[in-house]
Structures are given as C-alpha cells and as structure tokens.
Amino acid sequence: MAPSSLPAQITAGSGLRVAGLTNPATVSILRPATDSTTAIQIQNAAGSQTVMDFDTVDSFVGVNTTAPAAFLDVAGLTPASIGTTPGTAATRTFQVTGAVGGATSIGTTGTGGLGGDVVINGGVGGQAASAATASTGGNGAQGVVQGGNGADAVVAGTGTNSGGTGGRFLGRGGVGGNATGNTSGTNTGGNGGPSQLIGGAGGTATTGSGNGVGGTGGDATVNGGAGGLATTGGTLSGGNGGQGIVIGGTAAAMVGAAGGAVQLQAAVGSATGSGGAGGACTISGGNAGGDNTAGRAGGNTIITSGNSKGNTVGATLSLTAGSAGDNKVSGNNGANGGALSLSAGPGGTASTSATPTGGNGGSTTLNGGQGGTASSTTGNNTGGNGSTITIQGATGGAANGANSATNLGGNGSSINITAGAGGNATNGTTNNGGGGGGVTISGGLAGTGSSSNGTPGSIVFNTNNAEAGRFTGAGAFSLVGQITKYNNVNTAGAGLAPIVGFTSQKSETASADANVLTVTPPAAAGTYRVSVAISVASATSGVISWTLSWTDSNGNAQTNQAQQIFQMGTAAPNTTFTTSAAGNYYGSVVIDINNAAANIVVKWVGGGTTSAKMSACIQRLN
C-alpha cells in the first residue's frame, strides 16, 4: 500500500495492524495500490482465518469468504468434525435487527416510537428509455429467502440412508408487546404483527395515444417443497410433495380463547367508475399425474367445519353463491343470482381391453346430521332427532312498483330431481343402451323399541294450492309407503287399492283353465277384491263359469269355490250360464285372507264348445 494514500482517521493501537503505513496512528482511508479481488483483508490474530475480504474489482465484500460473489456475501463457518454424534451445530450466519423505537419521558399518556423496519428488496428492472419504437422494461429481480438444504446421505453401507430435512423457512410477524404496568386500569397486550405475502403491484400504463393496459399484479404463492427423486436401488418411490399449509394462530392457553381464523378471500374489484369484477377464489385438489397406465388418485378437496365442545351447536358449513348486481342502467331486467353447483366427477374411460366398461360417475350425497345420543343413568333418555334436509326453491321476486302499468311477480323456482339418462350403445354388433337411473324418495325407518316401535317417516307431495300434483314420465314409479291422503281426502285401508295381480283378455275354450290368474299375497292378514270380465265370441252349449281358491281369515282353505256371475242385459246373477250365443259377463267378490301367504287363484271352468276371452284383477284393500 502507498502510505500517501492512507490519510489519518484509523487509530492503530495494539489490537490493530495496518501493514505498510509510515504513520499507523492516524489513518482514515484504506486504498490499495492496485485493484484485485483480495485487495484488502481483515484476518484473525493468527492469520488463519480471513474475517472480511474487500474485492475492489467487483466492489464485493465477503465475510468469512475470500471469494465473495455478491456486493455483500456472508458465509457461515463449518464447525470442525468430531468423533461423536450428532455433529456440532453451525453458528447462526446472518442476523439483521431493526432499531428499537425511541423512548419518551413524557409524564402523561405516552406512546413510544416505532421500531425500525427491516426491508429486503429485489432490484428494480432497468428501463429501455432510448428505444425508438416499442420498449419493454426489465423484470424486477427475485427476492429470495430460503431455508438451508438438507445434507445428502451417501454412505455405501448396509443400513438405511436418510437425507437431512431441509431447513425451515419461517416468516413471522413480531411478538406483541407485554402490558405489565402497575395500573388501576386495564393492561392489554399488543397484537402480534401480521405476516403477509403480497405479490408486487402491476405496473401503471399512463402515456400514449393508443390503448393503455395496466400490468397484472404479481401472484402470492405458498407452495410446499418438491418431493425428492429416488434414482438408484431396488424398488424406487419418489418422495411426496410437501403440504402447503395455512394455519391460524394458536389460541392462548386460557378459558374462552378462540383459535385464529383462516380466511381465503379474493380481492374486491375496482370501485372506480363502472368497477371491475371481483377476483375468483378457487380451492382445488391436485390432479393426478401420469399417462393413465396405472391408477393414481387425484387429491381430495375437503371443507369441514370445526367440531364444537360442550352444549354448543356444531359449526355451520355455508356454501352461498354470490348475489347479482343491481341494475342501474336502462331497462328493468335484474341479473340472475350466481348458481350453486355440486357435481360429482364423471366416470373414467376404459378403451384398451377386449370388453371395456366405463367407470361409474361419482355419487352426490347430502346427509343430515345424526341425532345425538342421550345416555343418562338417572332419568329418562330421549335421543336427538336427526336433522332435516331441506331443498327449497327460491321465492319469486316481488313486483311492487307504484305505477299505472301491470305488476307481475316472478315465478318461484322449480325443484328438479332427475336421475341420469342411460348411456347410448353404438357401433357394435349388439348394442344395448343403459337403463335410466332411478329416483328413490324414502321416508325414514321407524326406530325399534322393546315396548313399542316408532312411526315410519312419511312422504308428502304438496303443490300448496288447488292444482293437482302430477307424476309424469315413461319410467316406473315405486311408492313403498302408504298413501294416507288423496286429492285432499283422507284414505283408509291400503290408501289407494293397489292392483296386485292382473290378466288381460286371456283366450279360453271349452277346456278348464286352472290358472287364469294366481297371486301370492304377503304373509299378512288382509282384504282383497277379485273381479273378472268374460267376453264370449261364440258358443254351442258353452259353460260360462269361474271359481276362486284362497285361505280365509280363519285359516280354512277355500278351494274352487264357484262365484256369482252376471250376464250383461240379464237381471239375475248365477254361478253358471250355459249359452249358444255371444255375450258379455262379469263378476266381483271381496274376500278376507289370513297371514299364511296362500295363493289366490282364479280358474275358468269351461265346457261345451266355447270361444271366449277372460280378464281377471285382484286388488288389495288393506
């Protein structure tokens, strides 16, 4: 170093040595004679460790490194190897602490000064200010704060190698200040400082005669770490990606303290002028990766309200579509409210086997909450009711303008419960279309009890006005429960008498037919109506007669009992008619049966020469 380049300001005592100075007691500027990457160095007393290195070629400063690669490059020191485990932990490498806020000595109510900020900013992108045509500003530099990488485990031994866990990245707001003053008022601790991840603001478009489009704001992303690769060995399995977790703050360990909420909320649209659309909020499970040659599940999406404790209602889970905006421009038509869609996933495609079968679509299930258990050992117990599931269409909008025109209220919304259509089958030798899905509406089963059973749940179809309700469609309808009211009239017995057996226009001749109609009733006592209709086309001394077999309510078998029959146009009934002419006949009888589930059998007796058609119907009355 040239002595003339080192004016006095650094006082050199016994603890500092500056080589090459003619007057080491008064020095202010250190200037090397020649620029180099190690132009100035500060070492420990032994000269074994360079504490600071000044690179005057690149204007870099290194701490604990002689090859700095940035304007300030701080390198931690690796502890020496030891013969025990675990190894020595490295000392904290870098720490920046903002200044403490200034104190105040005011004698009345006072507020201390704010603590100093600590800011780490990536560099601003450069301008292309002299471009003659279009220009593009340079991208801003990244601001990266990253936890340390876990160490590799590379021993070629017989045990298990486990790489070290990557260091945690912790972004934490400051701790709230304590309130400990000896006061007769209230001490309230300061709130903890918020921790925010905020993407950069979009750039402004302010000059030019063409269109101006402001830049999109930068994303704020919280990502779990990438899973590690497995590249050598037997069966290889890559590591799972780390979770991205956002958790509210832990409640204080005191009665009544609530855990911190987590809120995911998209930003409000611009309020300037006609405004802008609100940002979307999307919560999506991850898609499965791969080429579909192996089953890999997509990530589930679970939204669950918290469980309550004690005698408190369970937390609500509310899914609410957005309200439509008010129409304040020309015209009188309000916009539709946002739709709420719950859709199960479609079934998967199968296309590579000889007889592929596509996967079933996912189910959509709405379950009410189960009633709570009552289990006291000292009094009467009554279990809680299961919750009701309500699917209710919205009320039509009111039309209440005070004018001389016509006000017409909006229709209430419909409720559609529609099963899925069967799939089409095409392009094959034999094509069989899939059946349409069924719709099942079931009242709840009655609970059983040692003294008495509960009442089964009812199903009510109510149009809420005088218009009759309607069942329409080509498919079958199955009503398991009893219809207790029809056309607003209470029913009795079976409600509406169901037809449990029917034969239509069965051809009969002179020969007996022992099975015109056979019905096996359920194993329950009941009352039935049996009716027949006989149409004779031609006959020569033909015998027109029918019999009925059943087991009566006393358990007696009634076999081939002749039943009355009426000939249309003839007043008196009979059990047998002999005719040589065409004619029409009918008969009907009501019978009681026991619970033996014995067959009810309608028989054609026959005789002579006869050509006839016979219909028979059996109805259950209770």
Q: Does the pLDDT value for residue 25 go beyond 60?
A: no
Which pLDDT belongs to residue 374?
A: 81
Query: Mean pLDDT, the chain, as a whole number?
Result: 82
Of 25-29, 122-126, 266-270, the poorest mean pLDDT is in 25-29
pLDDT higher than 50, residue 8: no
**214, 203 Cβ separation under 8 angstroms:** yes
Asked if residue 549 has pLDDT above 80, the reply is: yes
H, E, C per residue of 448-472: CCCCCCCCCCCCCCCCCCCCCCCCC
Residue 136 has pLDDT above 90, yes or no: no
- The per-residue pLDDT for range 37-89, each reduced to its tens digit, is 999 999 999 999 999 999 999 999 999 999 999 999 999 888 888 889 888 88
pLDDT of 391-400, one tens digit each?
Answer: 888 888 888 8
Which pLDDT does position 535 carry in this prediction? 96
Q: What is the mean pLDDT of residues 489-516?
A: 91
- Interstrand relation of 513-519 and 600-604 (parallel, antiparallel or unpaired): antiparallel
Asked if pLDDT for residue 594 goes beyond 50, the answer is yes
Confidence of residue 467 (pLDDT cuts 50, 70, 90): very low
Q: What is the pLDDT of residues 200-249, one digit of tens each?
A: 888 877 777 777 777 888 888 888 888 887 777 777 777 888 888 888 88
Which structure tokens are listed for 78?
């690796």
CA distance 363 to 586: 51
Residue 527 has pLDDT above 80, yes or no: yes
Confidence (pLDDT) at 180? 79
Query: What is the predicted pLDDT for the residue at 547?
Result: 97
In this prediction, residue 330 has a pLDDT band, given cuts at 50, 70 and 90, of: low
What confidence score (pLDDT) does residue 169 get?
Answer: 75
Mean pLDDT across the stretch 304-319? 85
Q: Give the pLDDT confidence score for residue 173 in this predicted structure.
A: 80
**How many CB atoms lie under 10 A from the CB of residue 389?**
9
Percent of the chain with pLDDT over 90: 25
Highest mean pLDDT: which range of 337-346, 399-408, 463-472, 581-590: 581-590
The stretch 424-436 carries a mean pLDDT of 83
More confident residue, 167 or 36: 36
Question: What number is the average pLDDT over the span 320-341?
Answer: 77
pLDDT for the residue numbered 331 = 60
Residue 10 has pLDDT above 60, yes or no: no
The two structure tokens encoding residue 561: 């009992």
Quick one: pLDDT at residue 82? 87
Rounded to whole angstroms, the Cα distance separating 11 from 29 reads 11
Q: Which residue has the higher pLDDT, 456 or 581?
A: 581
Sign of CA dihedral 16, 22, 28, 32: negative
Per-residue confidence (pLDDT) for residue 462, from 0 to 100: 67
Main-chain dihedrals φ then ψ at residue 223, nearest 5 degrees: -115, 135
pLDDT beyond 60 at 24: no
Average pLDDT over residues 182-200: 79
- pLDDT at residue 475 in the model: 60
Distance, C-alpha 464 to centroid of its chain: 34
pLDDT value of residue 118: 80
Instruction: Tell me what percent of the residues of the chain surpass a pLDDT of 70.
Output: 91
Kindly list the structural domains of the chain, giving each domain's residue range(s) and its CATH number in brackets, ordered by start. 1-31 (no CATH), 36-71 (no CATH), 499-620 (2.60.120)
Residue 337: pLDDT over 60:
yes
C-alpha R_g of the chain = 45
pLDDT at 165 exceeding the cut of 70: yes
Rounded to whole angstroms, the Cα distance separating 94 from 74 reads 7
355 vs 426, 428, 534, CA distance in Å?
Answer: 14, 11, 52
Q: Residue 18: what pLDDT?
A: 55
Q: Is 375 left (phi over 0), alpha (psi -120 to 50) or beta?
A: alpha
Is residue 591 over pLDDT 80? yes
pLDDT (0 to 100) of residue 434: 84
Query: What pLDDT, on a 0 to 100 scale, did the predictor assign at position 270?
Result: 87
Q: What is the pLDDT of residue 610?
A: 94
430 vs 53, which has greater pLDDT? Answer: 53
37-53 b/e (C-beta count within 10 Å ≥ 16 → b): ebbbeeeeeeeeebeeb
